[in-house]
């Protein structure tokens, strides 16, 4: 064994250390400084036979960063602030003052043509349980119309009415008496020099007595069966032994159901009535009964609404017959609350009565032949508009086919030719109607309405007798500080055709179609309110002073006035 001198040994150790540091810096730049002490005991050989790399890779510790769950609590702490809050005062609701109402109202006046007028309204005051009232009226005139027979006439009305209010129902009733006296003045005395005619031979009088009762529901809930039951009766007589009795019983029922799962419920309803009429004219008697059943359904969907149903009539007189008419109607709210369009079809039958006919023409012959009038089919459409709060405009168009439509013609079988009978014919008519209204609070009100009528497809008649091609009406009222009120009324009637009987000097021709000119009737009224209870008024009628014909040989009065006062107490 060779012992190396310690100095040389130290040199070798130092060289080894330096070499190790050199290799460590080159191969493992990322590792830390490596220190190692080597002691070599061997034969001196300055050559290093082999070198080994330190197989040591850098290690990186990578851990996922987690956010610790933060929990906290808030400990309330009274700050010790004391606030004195003043309570809000309650809103005081003050009821609107009720206007004073009067129990009685009386109005009366006089005018030319020996006209007398009086009217009374009396009723109970405000009540949550009942209402009672009475109405009486008298209007008479004994003036003469030049070249015609005596034209005196009068009208008296007495009505008593009442209502009883229940929590969910209302019971109402009325009894009435109506007397209308007139003279059949439609002849010229100059044409009958050799005939003695007294006023009693010309008198006519219609007298009606009757009453009605109505029981209707007023439910707040929409899920209940709404109902309205009505019973009415009247008796009519005249001076020519005409008698008519009528009993009408009707019931209207409806209830809401959700049949189609729409936004709103649908309404199922049934209107039904039984109309019993007994008539006696010129020794002839007739009894008729008409039963009506009208089932229907109404539905709303958004801006659309629909109605569908049937009118089923069963008419019985000397025989029994039934009739069915479909009912369809559709509406569209084109502008909600501003413009509505509608269209539909329907039909029906009507039993003509002396009452309904005398309301149109009181100069009837006792030889009337009364029958049914059939509205075989009607198609209609129109619109309703509320352009603004003050302005409304409505219009409609319809086409109707009638069977057995009644026209008035002069009764040529009488000596004076001053009464009218009925002539029936089939006819179709198209109607155009329009209405404009302007309202400015209570100060100014204006309205204009008119109609155009086209009668076509006449059966055997040359014209639609006494039916004008057009008519129009205008009304205006102006309130000056609730002290002076002015009113204007104007009516225009187009020319009409009448079937006029010829005089005995033309026996070959029974009657001749004659055209009557149209006419305009303008009236003006003024009222001065002295106070809330007392007023003075004046009415001027037929300001144009024209004498127009309503019926053949029945001219109107010329300019006539009526003035008086009204008083509430």
CATH code for the domain of 428? 2.40.170.20
The answer to which of 63-72, 160-169, 196-205, 317-326 has the lowest mean pLDDT is: 63-72
Residue 2's pLDDT is what?
A: 38
pLDDT at 385 over 70: yes
pLDDT at 51 over 70: no
Would 232 be classed as within a structural domain? Answer: no
Residue 18's pLDDT is what?
A: 45
Point out the domain boundary residue: 15, 37, 56.
Answer: 56
pLDDT at 448 over 70: yes
Residue 56's pLDDT is what?
A: 61
Residue 506's pLDDT is what?
A: 54
Q: What are the phi and psi torsion angles at 17 (to 5°)?
A: -65, -45
Most confident of 44-48, 71-75, 84-88, 314-318: 314-318
Provide the percentage of residues in the chain whose pLDDT is more than 90.
67
Q: What does the angle CA 383 – CA 389 – CA 394 come to, to the nearest 5 degrees?
A: 20
Which is more confidently placed, 13 or 460?
Answer: 460
Residue 269's pLDDT is what?
A: 96
The CA distance from 400 to 524, in Å, is 36
Which DSSP category does 443 fall into? T
* Digit-coded pLDDT (tens) for 474-493: 999 999 988 999 999 999 99
Residue 197's pLDDT is what?
A: 87
pLDDT at 420 over 60: yes
Point out the domain boundary residue: 36, 56, 76.
Answer: 56
Instruction: Provide the domain count of the chain.
Output: 2
Burial of 58 (0-12, 13-18, 19+ CB in 10 A): exposed
pLDDT at 388 over 60: yes
Residue 26's pLDDT is what?
A: 42
Which is more confidently placed, 123 or 263?
Answer: 123
pLDDT at 63 over 70: no
Residues 186-210, mean pLDDT to the nearest whole number:
89
- For residues 456 and 469, the answer to whether their CB atoms sit within 8 Å is no
Structure tokens at 461: 């008649």
pLDDT at 277 over 90: yes
**Owner of token pair 């005995």:** 504
Residues 13-31, mean pLDDT to the nearest whole number:
46
Q: Report the candidate in 314, 424, 427, 312 with the shortest Cα–Cα distance to residue 371.
A: 424
- pLDDT band per the 50, 70, 90 thresholds, residue 414: confident
The answer to which of 260-269, 380-389, 475-484 has the lowest mean pLDDT is: 260-269
Residue 220's pLDDT is what?
A: 87
Q: Report the candidate in 174, 246, 177 with the shortest Cα–Cα distance to residue 206.
A: 177
Residue 89's pLDDT is what?
A: 79
Residue 262's pLDDT is what?
A: 77
pLDDT at 273 over 90: yes
pTM of the predicted model, to two decimals? 0.79
Would 491 be classed as within a structural domain? Answer: yes
Mean pLDDT estimate for the chain: 87
Would 172 be classed as within a structural domain? Answer: no
Would 538 be classed as within a structural domain? Answer: yes
pLDDT at 64 over 90: no
pLDDT at 553 over 80: yes
Structure tokens at 161: 């009415």
Which residues neighbour 408 within 8 Å (Cβ) at sequence distance 6 or greater?
360, 361, 420, 421, 422, 423, 465, 466, 551
Which domain does 24 fall in, by range? 1-56
Would 436 be classed as within a structural domain? Answer: yes
The CA distance from 557 to 495, in Å, is 19
Residue 23's pLDDT is what?
A: 46
Residue 556's pLDDT is what?
A: 93
Which is more confidently placed, 60 or 430?
Answer: 430
Would 526 be classed as within a structural domain? Answer: yes
The CA distance from 297 to 254, in Å, is 9
The answer to which of 123-127, 188-192, 204-208, 560-564 has the lowest mean pLDDT is: 188-192
pLDDT at 180 over 50: yes
The answer to which of 11-25, 28-42, 366-380, 444-458 has the lowest mean pLDDT is: 11-25
Would 376 be classed as within a structural domain? Answer: no
Residue 3's pLDDT is what?
A: 42
Residue 22's pLDDT is what?
A: 43
Residues 139-163, mean pLDDT to the nearest whole number:
94
The answer to which of 10-24, 57-71, 477-491, 547-561 has the lowest mean pLDDT is: 10-24
Residue 52's pLDDT is what?
A: 57
Point out the domain boundary residue: 56, 80, 98.
Answer: 56
* Digit-coded pLDDT (tens) for 226-247: 999 999 999 999 999 899 999 9
Would 393 be classed as within a structural domain? Answer: yes
CA-based R_g, the chain, Å: 50
- For residues 145 and 557, the answer to whether their CB atoms sit within 8 Å is yes
The CA distance from 187 to 179, in Å, is 24
- pLDDT band per the 50, 70, 90 thresholds, residue 29: very low
Q: What are the phi and psi torsion angles at 97 (to 5°)?
A: -65, 135
The CA distance from 41 to 47, in Å, is 14
- For residues 391 and 437, the answer to whether their CB atoms sit within 8 Å is yes
pLDDT at 395 over 50: yes
């Amino acid at each position: 064994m060779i012992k190396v001198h310690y100095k040389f040994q130290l040199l070798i150790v130092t060289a080894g250390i330096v070499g190790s540091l050199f290799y460590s810096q080159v191969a493992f730049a990322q590792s830390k400084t490596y220190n190692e002490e080597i002691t070599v005991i061997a034969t001196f050989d300055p050559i290093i036979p082999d070198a080994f790399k330190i197989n040591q890779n850098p290690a990186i510790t990578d851990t996922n960063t987690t956010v610790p769950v933060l929990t906290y609590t808030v400990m309330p702490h009274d700050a010790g602030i004391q606030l004195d809050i003043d309570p809000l005062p309650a809103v005081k609701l003050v009821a609107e003052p009720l206007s004073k109402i009067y129990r009685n109202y009386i109005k009366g006046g006089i005018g030319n043509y020996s006209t007398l007028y009086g009217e009374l309204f009396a009723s109970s005051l405000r009540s949550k349980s009942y209402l009672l009232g009475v109405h009486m009226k008298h209007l008479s005139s004994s003036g003469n119309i030049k070249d015609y027979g005596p034209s005196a006439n009068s009208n008296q009305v007495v009505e008593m009415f009442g209502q009883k209010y229940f929590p969910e129902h209302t019971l109402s009733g009325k009894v009435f008496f109506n007397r209308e006296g007139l003279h059949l003045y439609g002849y010229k005395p100059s044409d009958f020099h050799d005939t003695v005619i007294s006023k009693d031979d010309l008198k006519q009088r219609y007298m009606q007595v009757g009453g009605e009762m109505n029981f209707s529901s007023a439910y707040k809930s929409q899920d209940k069966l709404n109902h309205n039951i009505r019973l009415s009766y009247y008796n009519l007589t005249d001076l020519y032994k005409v008698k008519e009795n009528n009993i009408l019983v009707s019931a209207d029922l409806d209830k809401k159901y959700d049949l189609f799962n729409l936004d709103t419920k649908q309404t199922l309803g049934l209107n039904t009535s039984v109309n019993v009429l007994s008539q006696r004219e010129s020794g002839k008697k007739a009894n008729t009964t008409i039963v009506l059943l009208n089932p229907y359904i109404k539905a709303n969907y958004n801006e659309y609404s629909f109605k569908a149903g049937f009118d089923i009539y069963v008419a019985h007189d000397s025989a029994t017959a039934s009739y069915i008419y479909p009912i369809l109607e559709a509406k569209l709210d084109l502008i909600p609350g501003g413009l509505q369009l509608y269209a539909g079809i329907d039909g029906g039958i009507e039993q003509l009565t002396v009452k309904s006919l005398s309301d149109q023409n009181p100069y009837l012959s006792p030889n009337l032949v009364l029958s049914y009038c059939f509205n075989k089919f009607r198609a209609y459409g129109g619109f309703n508009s509320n352009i603004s709060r003050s302005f409304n405009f409505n219009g409609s168009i319809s086409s109707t086919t009638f069977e057995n439509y009644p026209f008035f013609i002069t009764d040529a079988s009488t000596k004076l030719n001053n009464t009218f009978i009925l002539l029936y014919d089939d006819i179709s008519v198209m109607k155009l109607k329009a209405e404009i209204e302007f309202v400015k609070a209570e100060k100014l009100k204006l309205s204009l309405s008119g109609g155009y009528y086209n009668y076509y497809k006449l059966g055997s008649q040359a014209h639609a007798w006494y039916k004008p091609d057009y008519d129009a009406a205008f009304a205006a009222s102006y309130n000056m500080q609730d002290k002076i009120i002015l009113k204007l009324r104007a009516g225009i009637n187009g020319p009409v055709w009448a079937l006029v009987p010829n005089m005995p000097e033309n026996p070959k021709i029974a009657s001749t179609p004659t055209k009557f000119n149209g006419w305009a009737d303008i009236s003006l009224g003024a009222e001065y309110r002295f106070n809330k209870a007392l007023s003075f008024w004046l009415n001027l009628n037929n300001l144009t002073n024209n004498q127009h014909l309503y019926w053949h040989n029945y001219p109107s009065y010329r300019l006539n006035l009526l003035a008086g006062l009204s008083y509430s107490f």
